[in-house]
Amino acid sequence: MIRFNCDYSEGAHPRIMELLAQTNMEQTAGYGEDPYCIRAAELIRRKCACKELGIQFTVGGTQVNSIVIAAALRPHQGAVCADTGHINIHESGAVEATGHKVLALPGRNGKITADQIQTACDEHFKDAAHEHMVQPGMVYLSLSTEMGTIYSRRELTEISEVCRRNDVLLYVDGARLGYGLCAEGCDLDLPVLAKLCDAFTIGGTKVGALFGEALVLRNDALKKDFRYILKQRGGMLAKGRLLGIQFLALLEEDLYFDIAARADRQAMQIRRACAEKGWNFLSDSPTNQQFPILPDMALNLLKKNYEVSDCGRIDKNHSAVRFCTSWATRDEDVKRLVRNIQTL
Amino acid sequence: MIRFNCDYSEGAHPRIMELLAQTNMEQTAGYGEDPYCIRAAELIRRKCACKELGIQFTVGGTQVNSIVIAAALRPHQGAVCADTGHINIHESGAVEATGHKVLALPGRNGKITADQIQTACDEHFKDAAHEHMVQPGMVYLSLSTEMGTIYSRRELTEISEVCRRNDVLLYVDGARLGYGLCAEGCDLDLPVLAKLCDAFTIGGTKVGALFGEALVLRNDALKKDFRYILKQRGGMLAKGRLLGIQFLALLEEDLYFDIAARADRQAMQIRRACAEKGWNFLSDSPTNQQFPILPDMALNLLKKNYEVSDCGRIDKNHSAVRFCTSWATRDEDVKRLVRNIQTL
Amino acid sequence: MIRFNCDYSEGAHPRIMELLAQTNMEQTAGYGEDPYCIRAAELIRRKCACKELGIQFTVGGTQVNSIVIAAALRPHQGAVCADTGHINIHESGAVEATGHKVLALPGRNGKITADQIQTACDEHFKDAAHEHMVQPGMVYLSLSTEMGTIYSRRELTEISEVCRRNDVLLYVDGARLGYGLCAEGCDLDLPVLAKLCDAFTIGGTKVGALFGEALVLRNDALKKDFRYILKQRGGMLAKGRLLGIQFLALLEEDLYFDIAARADRQAMQIRRACAEKGWNFLSDSPTNQQFPILPDMALNLLKKNYEVSDCGRIDKNHSAVRFCTSWATRDEDVKRLVRNIQTL
Amino acid sequence: MIRFNCDYSEGAHPRIMELLAQTNMEQTAGYGEDPYCIRAAELIRRKCACKELGIQFTVGGTQVNSIVIAAALRPHQGAVCADTGHINIHESGAVEATGHKVLALPGRNGKITADQIQTACDEHFKDAAHEHMVQPGMVYLSLSTEMGTIYSRRELTEISEVCRRNDVLLYVDGARLGYGLCAEGCDLDLPVLAKLCDAFTIGGTKVGALFGEALVLRNDALKKDFRYILKQRGGMLAKGRLLGIQFLALLEEDLYFDIAARADRQAMQIRRACAEKGWNFLSDSPTNQQFPILPDMALNLLKKNYEVSDCGRIDKNHSAVRFCTSWATRDEDVKRLVRNIQTL
């Protein structure tokens, strides 16, 4: 069985494993105050072209999402997101556990628009009873989204403007940021993100690291005392350098983007093979997640050799699935899969 | 201006005011441990035909809803309700503030069905990733609903069975219980509710009291230590007897049901007047809340003399509003309104 | 049995009952947006000599304390208070239920000092691991305290200065504010409180009202959106005017202070009677709560006719109790008690 | 500079690094459902001599403590611990952030006794106002404690009995369990812990792992649905196998105990050197943490070559510090330190 079901089936990119082995017996300060975290933070600031950014490293995605939201919102505020958003569906109520409602809007291709956000704000404040309702306090986007799609620079700029006009924070969950930024046609980059967002993450877990998300904070109110909240919510690693070391390995020579671009290309090969069979897709994804809708017979044959993620029945004879590539996907496995699809 | 916009525009029924005045200078124990609360609790048990019920008195509806949910659910569980449910829309995120997600299902006429609940449970547990999602732990209904509708005995029985089969608690928010139980065609009563629900409230605030909701607890796990949580969440009144006295006044001679039935009849007069004008309704309500859809011109004329609640624009020329009657609505005001509608 | 065990054994002062009866059938807007609340808020601003104060009315003390703390603190901050503080002991963990630690300091006579607060801040920020500890974010005092004592103007001024210097909010729980401000020797008044505190309450429940605490907010950040949080935490009464009406009745002609002063004088008669017997006291209280330490034999005799609150065993033969007077205490009952003490 | 300031200055034991490297490119299921976690769990059950134990792996100590407490307690319950307990002091209010109060008892040598716990329960339930106070719901111990001390089998047995008698859960934080169990004179072992506790952890972070705590659950109510809560609170690692692999490496050939025993022996050499200088200690620790009280002049000399943790000023000329050894401490560094102490 070859796993195409997710992008976290293996360990870490070999360069990370090397650097971890090499530094293993060094003695450093704990809790992210070591030289590696300091260097990695400096490197991220440079790549984001902004010296004032606050950089924190955390272990996981659910964790960093709920910590940012807990740190950002007052008790009566909620986080606006697409109904397919990770925080709305797949985090076991982590946001609600911090006391905040997720305000889900109907997404298209996993995305929401500046207009939808403006309308949500207008509807809230125009309602005479708005004090009896949850106030939009933050917009949560993911890049790439749970549907593999990406926001364009224009879309993100408009959303950012709407957020600032309405005094709402903008946070981008970049668990798959590499795959998003390296997708064909993506016109976003780190400096643009750092300008448009109050906070965003550079996801490591799914893009080459053993684990780890780098959190980039632009908003000054969010930066203040953030490490207390990180500690309180279990996001501060005793041997914090493990995170600094991994992000150094990923970012120093742009390994992060090289491996993400490669995975995106592999995914597009799978996409093309599916499209050539005449299969439709749940979304127009240019990234490492592809969501074809297959005849059940074809799916059953593929499942003999490949693990995929089920995404629900579409009609009597068709189902949707997710194929994921990652930094670790082997070209030969992609070729074999493509051949298998072609000869179904 | 005559207020038909809600059912809490006045103080309390005169009989309550009398009893409060009459007992005012008595000295009693605090926090609901006085003779009046004890008698009122006993009376409720008798009217519910069940000696084992736990009875608590709290001040308000948002309060009692969030306290019951906080007391009932484990951290990973959520409360299933109709998308129009009060806890989903109009409590400023009170449930989320206790750490729990509201799991909204699309309602019809403000109601959800046993089938929908079963499907929600099935979809949850059949999902391989269900541990990453919020588990349905409770069903929240309201009676009458936010749309003025009521559940039939059969509907509630089916919901109760689905809940028990799936190990999910059933809680009925009875902020308008009187208006619901007294509606024409309602085949529910207190003993049935006490059998089918794990917990429900008998709402006082909107049915004759200054304030106050009586909470009826059938579920033993919920009863245990409930008063700690009541105190913790601000639901325990120092002069608790104020609640006991009010519920005694309301229930001893069935004043509660008499005044609710009268308000329902008044509402049906308004409904008929609207129907005779050919107006449609947002819901098929037999209770004290009516939601006609009016031509804007008619609405503007009515608004010169009556306060109503806006319920949104329906099309270019029509809007929906809510007319509420209550225990305090005067027959002459209803007559005048009906005449005004007829002569529009 | 005559109750001296607490100050909430009766209903409300007759003038309140009259005003409630008189306004009972008026129709007003709900949720504190009625003319009575608006007038009462205006009156409180005038009495506090500050037009910019935010005024909110809530039902109970535990409720208002936890709402203010939830609204004021960020997730990593705690509320500093005396170890005897109400929030530390007698609110079933209400503050912790909002996510915040109570940082208890050893009190003397139920009070803490500016020096203690400064030291707590210093120790926090000087600790290299302070990010791993709860940051002092607010100081909670009560006036009068749980031990019946009061802060002097100098003490409160120093505390206020320490708080502002350390960027820590100052909140005074005035559940017994009337008894505090009217005590012999008290040199505080409403305008001084309004200047020194970020927030404080004027307690109604224990000083003549059926229930109700008026919350005075000076801090602009706290004022913003406060009503959302009030609603969310169950502190917003549907028939909010009940609170406005009561505070109007209490404050319009200084009834609040008249009845509190009288109760303080009654308490001092009891104190003197105890002192003349040679009994010591748990605290030097000039207010309506007195904590004598009695021989058990004397206590047992008194308990035949009077309810008092037990405050623990002091030694083999002595126990401490609390005697409370209130706005409702009858002079003849005080006289009888004093006589009984004298003739023990 | 040689670091004796804590036990998490280095990476992981080489055997762990090897096993991680060796398995790096394998594809496995995520979230702890891989073969390594399954085998590691099985191994722990065997070492605890109990097949029914629930085993979960989490990343960090603050995290696992707050997750266990959130999963175990109802809203009105708190966790009893020594005032020096990690959850009381050094977790930035993590427990309170889950809504629960830490009920601190005065510790001796970092420990509390069965008698203290019984008294706390008695005082709670005998107080007429106990519903207004936080109910003891769990006892939190650490082994070894923050002061390096250990509980004897008799002490832990008595505590366990008191807990069961009072319907209070017993949880042992084993962040330094290896150092505790391997200390000279310790008569506890894994099977005993698994019998006496409702839950305990086997700490990896400080005993050879990169990170990771194995959580052992005996209590059935706690086991149920625990993984939801783990996910919700950020404790579920996507590449969960990293935890399974590390605990396999640590436990398969008792590496965990070998390296802990060695660190304890090193610490005792340091202790003896201090004792021979006539220095006192903050606690009677037989484990890897030693807390000597030094003349400031001696401390200043030592600080030129060694990092230690400051533990506060004792008197005008003396301060307390902490020396930590760990699995990574080199014998030559201990020898050098001992020599340096001797020749001060």
Q: Smallest CA–CA separation between A23 and chain D, in Å?
A: 8
Q: What is the pLDDT of residues C169-188, one digit of tens each?
A: 999 999 999 999 999 999 99
Interface test with C, best of A56, A74, A130, A233 (most C CBs within 10 A): A74
Residue whose token pair is 């946070």 = A171
Contact (CB, 8 A) for C208 and C254: no
Interface test with B, best of D232, D233, D237 (most B CBs within 10 A): D232
Do the bridges between strand D199-203 and strand D213-217 make them parallel or antiparallel, or are there none, so unpaired?
A: antiparallel
Helix, strand, coil percentages, rounded to 5, for chain D:
40, 20, 40
Q: What is the pLDDT of residues D72-83, one digit of tens each?
A: 999 999 999 999
pTM of the model: 0.97
Q: How many CB atoms lie within 10 A of CB B39?
A: 15
Nearest one of B259, B197, B204, B183 to B64, comparing CA atoms:
B204
Domain D14-254 coded CATH 3.40.640.10: yes
Residues of D in contact with A25 (CB under 8 A): 10-11, 328
Q: Smallest CA–CA separation between A130 and chain C, in Å?
A: 8
Q: In the predicted model, what is the mean pLDDT of residues A162-172?
A: 98
CATH 3.90.1150.10 residue ranges in chain B?
A: 2-7+256-342
Query: Which chains does C contact via 3+ CB–CB distances below 8 A?
Result: A, B, D
Residue D135's pLDDT is 98
Residue D127's pLDDT is 93
Nearest one of C47, C24, C85 to C194, comparing CA atoms:
C47
What percentage of chain C reaches a pLDDT higher than 70? 100
Residue B5's pLDDT is 96
Contact (CB, 8 A) for C68 and C45: no
Interhelix angle B241-251/B255-276, nearest 10 degrees: 70
Residue A290's pLDDT is 98
Contact (CB, 8 A) for B145 and B282: no
Radius of gyration over alpha carbons of chain C, in Å? 20
Nearest one of C130, C133, C203, C142 to C170, comparing CA atoms:
C142
The whole-angstrom separation of Cα D113 and Cα B198 is 40
Q: What is the pLDDT of residues D177-189, one digit of tens each?
A: 999 999 999 999 9
Residues D234, A63: C-beta atoms closer than 8 Å: yes
The whole-angstrom separation of Cα D192 and Cα D49 is 9
Residue B26's pLDDT is 97
Residue whose token pair is 């049906």 = B268
Q: What is the pLDDT of residues D145-188, one digit of tens each?
A: 999 999 999 999 999 999 999 999 999 999 999 999 999 999 99
> Which residue among A75, A98, A227 places its CB closest to the CB of C71?
A75
Q: Mind listing the pLDDT tens digit of every residue in chain D (344 residues)?
A: 999 999 999 999 999 999 999 999 999 999 999 999 999 999 999 999 999 999 999 999 999 999 999 999 999 999 999 999 999 999 999 999 999 999 999 999 999 999 999 999 999 999 999 999 999 999 999 999 999 999 999 999 999 999 999 999 999 999 999 999 999 999 999 999 999 999 999 999 999 999 999 999 999 999 999 999 999 999 999 999 999 999 999 999 999 999 999 999 999 999 999 999 999 999 999 999 999 999 999 999 999 999 999 999 999 999 999 999 999 999 999 999 999 999 98
Cα separations (Å) of D50 from D86, D141, D159, D177, D255? 28, 22, 21, 18, 21
A319: β partners: A294, A313
The whole-angstrom separation of Cα B120 and Cα B162 is 11
Cis peptide preceding D144, ω within 30 of 0: yes
Which strand (E) or helix (H) includes residue C203?
Answer: strand C199-203
Residues D233, A97: C-beta atoms closer than 8 Å: yes
Cα separations (Å) of A51 from A45, A174, A263, B268? 6, 20, 31, 68
Helix (H, G, I), strand (E, B) or coil at B42: helix
Residues C242, B2: C-beta atoms closer than 8 Å: no
What percentage of chain A reaches a pLDDT higher than 70? 100
Q: Where are the alpha helices (DSSP H) in D110-251?
A: 114-126, 153-165, 177-181, 190-196, 220-223, 226-232, 241-251
The whole-angstrom separation of Cα B99 and Cα B66 is 10
CATH 3.40.640.10 residue ranges in chain C?
A: 14-253
| Dihedral sign, Cα of residue A128, residue A131, residue A132, residue A137 | positive
What percentage of chain B reaches a pLDDT higher than 70? 100
Residue C255's pLDDT is 98
Residue B209's pLDDT is 98
Residue whose token pair is 């990476």 = D11
Helix (H, G, I), strand (E, B) or coil at C135: strand
Flag residues of chain B having pLDDT under 50. none
The amino acid that residue D341 corresponds to is I
Residues D75, B131: C-beta atoms closer than 8 Å: no
Residue C202's pLDDT is 98
What residue of C is the nearest CA neighbor of B4? Answer: C27
> Which residue among D8, D24, D30 places its CB closest to the CB of A30?
D8
Residues A25, D62: C-beta atoms closer than 8 Å: no
CATH 3.40.640.10 residue ranges in chain B?
A: 14-254
Q: Smallest CA–CA separation between A59 and chain B, in Å?
A: 17
Burial class (CB in 10 A: 0-12, 13-18, 19+), A252: middle
Q: Smallest CA–CA separation between D223 and chain A, in Å?
A: 17
Structure tokens at A177: 């940021």
Structure tokens at B15: 């009989």
Residues B135, D225: C-beta atoms closer than 8 Å: yes
> Which residue among B76, B227, B233 places its CB closest to the CB of D232?
B76
Q: What is the pLDDT of residues A99-141, one digit of tens each?
A: 999 999 999 999 999 999 999 999 999 999 999 999 999 999 9
Residues D59, A9: C-beta atoms closer than 8 Å: no
Q: What is the pLDDT of residues C268-311, one digit of tens each?
A: 999 999 999 999 999 999 999 999 999 999 999 999 999 999 99
Q: What is the pLDDT of residues C12-55, one digit of tens each?
A: 999 999 999 999 999 999 999 999 999 999 999 999 999 999 99
Residue D341's pLDDT is 97
Q: Smallest CA–CA separation between D300 and chain C, in Å?
A: 18
| Dihedral sign, Cα of residue D24, residue D26, residue D28, residue D33 | negative
Q: Smallest CA–CA separation between D229 and chain B, in Å?
A: 6
Return mean pLDDT, chain C: 97
Which strand (E) or helix (H) includes residue D300?
Answer: helix D296-302
The whole-angstrom separation of Cα B55 and Cα B64 is 12
Q: What is the pLDDT of residues C80-125, one digit of tens each?
A: 999 999 999 999 999 999 999 999 999 999 999 999 999 999 999 9
Nearest one of C127, C130, C200 to C159, comparing CA atoms:
C200
Structure tokens at A12: 């870490």
* CA neighbours closer than 13 Å in the CB half-sphere of residue A294: 25
Residue A272's pLDDT is 98
Residues of D in contact with A2 (CB under 8 A): 27
Q: What is the pLDDT of residues B151-196, one digit of tens each?
A: 999 999 999 999 999 999 999 999 999 999 999 999 999 999 999 9
Q: How many CB atoms lie within 10 A of CB D185?
A: 7
Contact (CB, 8 A) for A222 and A72: yes
Helix (H, G, I), strand (E, B) or coil at B100: coil
Residue C264's pLDDT is 98
The amino acid that residue D30 corresponds to is G
Contact (CB, 8 A) for C80 and C168: yes
Q: What is the ipTM of this complex?
A: 0.96
* CA neighbours closer than 13 Å in the CB half-sphere of residue C256: 27
- CATH for D2-7+256-342 is 3.90.1150.10
Q: Read off φ and ψ for residue C342, nearest 5 degrees.
A: -60, -35
Residue whose token pair is 């004027």 = C202
Structure tokens at A271: 């996409």
Q: Where are the alpha helices (DSSP H) in C79-205?
A: 86-89, 94-97, 114-126, 153-165, 177-181, 190-196
Q: Please, what is the Cα angle at A143 between A341 and B77, to 5 degrees?
A: 95
- CATH for C14-253 is 3.40.640.10
The whole-angstrom separation of Cα D321 and Cα D324 is 10
Contact (CB, 8 A) for A201 and A214: yes
Q: Read off φ and ψ for residue A208, nearest 5 degrees.
A: 105, -20
What residue of B is the nearest CA neighbor of A100? Answer: B96
